[in-house]
Chains A and B, each alone.
Chain A
Amino acid sequence: MTEIVMECKNLWKIYKDIVAVRDVSLQIREGEIKLIFGPSGSGKSTLLRCLAMLTTPTKGDVFLRGECLTKPGVDLNKARARIGFVFQHIYLFHHLTALGNVELALRHVLKLPKDEARKRAMSALEEVKMEKWANYYPAQLSGGQQQRVGIARALARNPDIILLDEPTSALDPELTGEVIDTLRDLAKKGTTMLIVSHEMPFAQEVADEMIFFDEGTIVETGTPEHFFTNPSTERAKKFMMRLIKRTRRE
């Protein structure tokens, strides 16, 4: 068995009167790709943000390579530097070019010298096939191109794991393909990823495990094979039916 990269144990996130994440435990091992899916508003994004410590979990623990991130006194900036995060709505820095977006963390988090930061940023852009657009500002790029830069920004630091929060769902349908292709490339290279997505053919192709998430908690886990042929819970069955119908329509 390979090493566990990220793990959470009995994780809860409670806002005033809403339980967004309810007692979730999961593990992602080196090179593994896990895919979370489920109805919108079920707490998937909140879970991902808790794992990246972008929001503090109410209860429970998050571990990154065995190091507990939820105990007091942990340097969270250092921890976040080792976690890549890709947002549904991308959130590129508007005032920086594609290259500037990717370079920023290399310069000011990893503190690389200018030339080296530039070289690594360029090679990250090459990985997502955006090197030709290095000097364009986000507003000059299409949604799909922006998201590829978002992915380059997340992976340029060589993080231990990349968390992707519905990376294609805010894009026009004709632009999802290029982003999915990029993710497929990353999968081939053995990048450890936890992806929230409803792109089913893609899931079937790359996911080692799928996690059906509803009402803030894990309802069912299994291989894509399992979910596509015979999910055991009624809720998962219904949801899969709807997804497959939708995919066919597209």
Chain B
Amino acid sequence: MDALQQLALILNGVTSTITVSIVSFFIGIFVGLPLSFLRVYGTKSAQILIDAFEKFFRGVPELVLLLMFYFGVGLYFPFPFKNVFFTANFVLGLRSAANQSQIFRGAIRGIGDEQMMAAMSLGLSKVKSVLYVMLPQVIIYSTPGLGSEYALLIKDSSYAYLIGVVDIMAYAVWIRKATMDTFTPYVISAFLYILLTFPIATFLDRWGSRKKKQLGLERR
């Protein structure tokens, strides 16, 4: 099998890699955003729970999480944990939520209580102040950080082949096993991973940094 044929095969895994990464990324946003606001404005007990959640998902290696949920938890709850796509997105998504919650929390701190106070001074409720004043700014403020988080997800999605997701990595390993070529399939996959991470991560970083500067979001 020559390199081009290998590439053609490995390309079949790109969809899975992208799907897992993007789904996890959005799980990360939709879970991470509320967590970050609850962590800052919520009750003491909410803060403790969120801290525990973040410590767990950030502290345990991703490989351990994947194997634990797929083989361990999946033993007792085959539905839904024996579905490889579910478990891959569950683990990557929640770990990303833990990361993103910290990114967003940094943004809330960076933007400052003053914006919240100014919103409240107009008669907006706390929820509306968060919705109309804090949230849009938090998202812009966080965009450069989200770029790195997206790159991390693309790369870390490669672990998911171990529980059976047929992604770029899975094809590379199969080709290695079938052809005994230990070099080309990995180089090709490395190239594909760079192609998938670099442009989008750079774009988010540049766009976010420029927007932050334009709006004067950095605190002086």
Contacts and interface: CB of A to CB of B under 8 A. Distances in A.
Interface stretch (B48-56, B78-86, B111-119): B111-119
Given A87-B114, A93-B115, A95-B136, A80 B121 contact: yes
Interface string B200-220: 000000000000001111000
Nearest to B118: A91
A166 to B, nearest CB: 14
Contact of A94 (B117, B120, B121, B137): B137
Contacts of B117: 54, 91
B163 interface: no
Contacts of A87: 114, 118, 121
Contacts of A157: 122-123
A81 B114 contact: no
Interface stretch (B24-32, B124-132, B191-199): B124-132
B215 A139 contact: yes
B122 A137 contact: no
A42 B140 CA distance: 37
A94 B122 CA distance: 16
Interface stretch (A19-27, A102-110, A226-234): A102-110
A139 B140 CA distance: 15
Interface in B115-159: 115, 117-125, 128, 132-133, 136-137, 140
A138 B216 contact: yes
A6 to B, nearest CB: 15
A224 to B, nearest CB: 28
Contact of B121 (A78, A85, A92): A85
Nearest to A110: B123
Contacts of B215: 94-95, 137-139
A78 B122 contact: no
A94 B116 CA distance: 12
A138 B118 CA distance: 14
A89 B118 CA distance: 10
Q: Which of A52, A82, A91 has the most CB of B within 10 A?
A: A91
Nearest to B131: A108
A95 B114 contact: no
B123 A80 contact: yes
A80 B127 CA distance: 15
Contacts of A81: 122-123
A93 B114 contact: no
Given A87-B114, A104-B132, A108-B132, A94 B124 contact: no
B119 A93 contact: yes
Q: Which of B115, B123, B132, B140 has the most CB of A within 10 A?
A: B123
A153 B115 CA distance: 14
Nearest to A82: B123
Nearest to B137: A95
Interface of B: 111, 114-115, 117-125, 128, 132-133, 136-137, 140, 214-217
20 contacts: A77-B120, A80-B120, A80-B121, A80-B122, A81-B122, A81-B123, A83-B121, A87-B118, A93-B118, A94-B217, A95-B137, A95-B140, A95-B215, A105-B122, A105-B124, A109-B122, A109-B123, A137-B215, A137-B216, A154-B121
Given A80-B122, A157-B123, 4 more contacts: A92-B118, A93-B115, A104-B133, A105-B124
> Which 6 pairs from chain A and chain B are nearest by CB?
A81-B123, A139-B216, A91-B118, A105-B122, A85-B121, A109-B123
